[in-house]
Amino acid sequence: MPVVDPVYCPLCATRLVPRTAHGAERIACPACDFVHFEDPKLAVGVLVTNDQRELLYTKRNHEPLMGTWAFPSGFVDRGEDVRAAARREVEEETGLLVELDGLVDVYSRDRDPVVYLVFDAHPVGGRLQPGPEAQAVRFFAAAALPPPAFPFDREIVEAWEIRRR
Ligand SMILES: [Zn+2]
């Protein structure tokens, strides 16, 4: 998801320029004290396990990695309860209503703006059917999971396998 930097100072409308400020290269105003801080972007992923201890995947219907199998995931809206965002993404993509069981872990790395919070969950209602963001949805047995699609998926699956024991 592209993050667009501001071009003009929101305080005095001068064109912003790059300079070192608060210990890093940032976009700042040459005429006043304004500094643009690039905030992290918060994303959630959800590991939904059914009664057969299978893991829920969606076949992505959007870039990046359209057509690959991945966990239900998406960005948290500003001001949105993070756990509500996790439940919302599962419902939007798979039709399932879930109850969160806990936070699996938090994933981030240098120079990546995205901070990824992964929860585990179990279904409590709804009906399994792909939403507009998914080409297909289904549960996979632990021995037959799709290959990891995103950078952290391998360690996320390992964390899931430990937690489901
Ligand atoms: Zn300014």
pLDDT digits (tens, 9 = 90+) for 90-126: 999 999 999 999 999 999 999 899 999 999 999 999 9
Of 55, 165, 75, 145, nearest in space to 117 by CA: 75
Q: At the top level of CATH, which class does the domain 41-163 belong to?
A: alpha beta
Beta bridge pairs of residue 49? 55
Q: Say how many Å lie between the CA of residue 21 and the centre of ligand 1.
A: 14
Under 8 Å between Cβ of 145 and 56: no
Structure confidence at residue 1 (pLDDT): 43
CA of 26 to the centre of ligand 1 (A): 14
The pLDDT of residue 28 is 95
> Maximum distance among all alpha carbons in the chain?
63
Average pLDDT over residues 38-63: 94
Per domain, the residue ranges of the chain are 1-38, 41-163
**Which DSSP state fits 144?**
G
Q: 10 C-alpha to center of ligand 1: Å?
A: 7
Q: What is the pTM of this model?
A: 0.85
Instruction: Give whichever of 34-38, 47-51, 65-69, 159-163 has the largest mean pLDDT.
Output: 47-51
How far does the centroid of ligand 1 lie from the alpha carbon of residue 9, in Å?
A: 5
